[in-house]
């Protein structure tokens, strides 16, 4: 059983969504601590070139915040993981006893999200690759989404909005790459190369934004936009 859970949330100009994201994470942390009172948890919000009120909303909510000027989600996730690692080292907690949970600022997790990941970790799993469901899609896009996504156990999808790793495994794989897109697929590929102890599951599924205006070309929102033309090949 992990001793500590660190949640990392990269955010760029998400003042309209991050309050609900953090509220849902609070519920997940409370559920985790109810079910596993000896497991502690922290939430780190990485402010990636934010120019709006995201920082104020996150701070008012009580989340730990740090700033990134990189403008790349891979760098933001990497910075958050580094801060989490330094934090637990100061507390004398080894990386093997820490679970690194990753989501996005426009994502809502269920209250069982962390409990489910910790349950897998307690069983010896080093990485949990979860599913996402985009909210607010029109019927045509929703139909195309579900036609392309079989959301069950052993699924083939990868999303940074729903990814958990043992911190020691994350470090052994080299951490998130400093890239603008597909940092999630990259780290999952490298973790799979060093350990067979991973699962792809729908049991920790989350809901994420179905918006089609992307902050980066080739990101998840670009995938959603591509559902209209059949060119939905830029995300997993």
Write the pLDDT tens digit of every residue in 113-128.
999 999 999 999 999 9
Q: Reading across the β-sheet that carries 198-200, which strands appear in turn? A: 64-68, 40-48, 4-11, 98-102, 163-166, 127-129, 198-200
Q: Is the pLDDT confidence value at 219 over 60?
A: no
- Which tens digit of pLDDT belongs to each residue from 199-208? 999 999 999 9
CB 126 within 8 A of CB 170: no
d(CA 153, CA 88): 32
Which tokens is 172 given? 């052994």
Domain spans, the chain: 4-139+148-210
Query: pLDDT class for 214, splitting at 50, 70, 90?
Result: low
Confidence class of residue 228 from pLDDT cuts 50, 70 and 90? low
Backbone angles phi, psi at 198, to 5 degrees: -140, 155
Q: How far apart are CA 197 and CA 111, in angstroms?
A: 25
- Tokens standing for residue 144: 């195309």
Q: What is the pTM of this model?
A: 0.90
**CA atoms of 72 and 59, how far apart (whole Å):** 22
For domain 4-139+148-210, the CATH superfamily is: Spore Coat Polysaccharide Biosynthesis Protein SpsA; Chain A (3.90.550.10)
Q: Is 223 helix (H, G, I), strand (E, B) or coil?
A: helix
Query: Cα separation of 178 and 6, whole Å?
Result: 20
- Cα angle: 223, vertex 137, 21; to 5 degrees: 85
Contact 107/209 with Cβ under 8 angstroms? yes
CB atoms inside a 10 Å sphere around CB 191: 22
For 24-58, write each residue's pLDDT tens digit. 999 999 999 999 999 999 999 999 999 999 999 99
Tokens of 206: 């989350």
């Amino acid at each position: 059983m992990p001793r500590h859970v660190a949640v990392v949330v990269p955010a760029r100009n998400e003042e309209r969504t991050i309050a609900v994201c953090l509220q849902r994470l609070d519920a997940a942390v409370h559920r985790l601590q109810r079910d596993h009172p000896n497991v502690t948890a922290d939430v780190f919000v990485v402010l990636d070139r934010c120019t709006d009120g995201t920082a104020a909303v996150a701070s008012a909510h009580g989340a730990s915040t740090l700033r990134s000027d990189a403008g790349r989600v891979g760098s933001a996730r990497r910075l958050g993981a580094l801060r989490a690692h330094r934090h637990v080292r100061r507390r004398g907690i080894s990386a093997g006893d820490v679970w690194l949970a990753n989501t996005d600022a426009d994502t809502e997790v269920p209250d069982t999200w962390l409990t489910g990941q910790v349950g897998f970790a307690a069983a010896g799993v080093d990485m949990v690759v979860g599913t996402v469901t985009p909210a607010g899609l029109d019927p045509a896009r929703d139909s195309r989404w579900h036609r392309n996504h079989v959301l069950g156990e052993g699924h083939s999808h990868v999303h940074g909005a729903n990814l958990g790793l043992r911190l020691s495994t994350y470090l052994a794989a080299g951490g998130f790459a400093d890239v603008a897109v597909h940092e999630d697929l990259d780290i999952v590929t490298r973790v799979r190369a060093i350990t067979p102890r991973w699962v792809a599951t729908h049991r920790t599924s989350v809901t994420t934004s179905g918006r089609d205006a992307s902050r980066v070309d080739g990101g998840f929102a670009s995938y959603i936009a591509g559902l209209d033309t059949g060119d939905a090949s830029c995300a997993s």
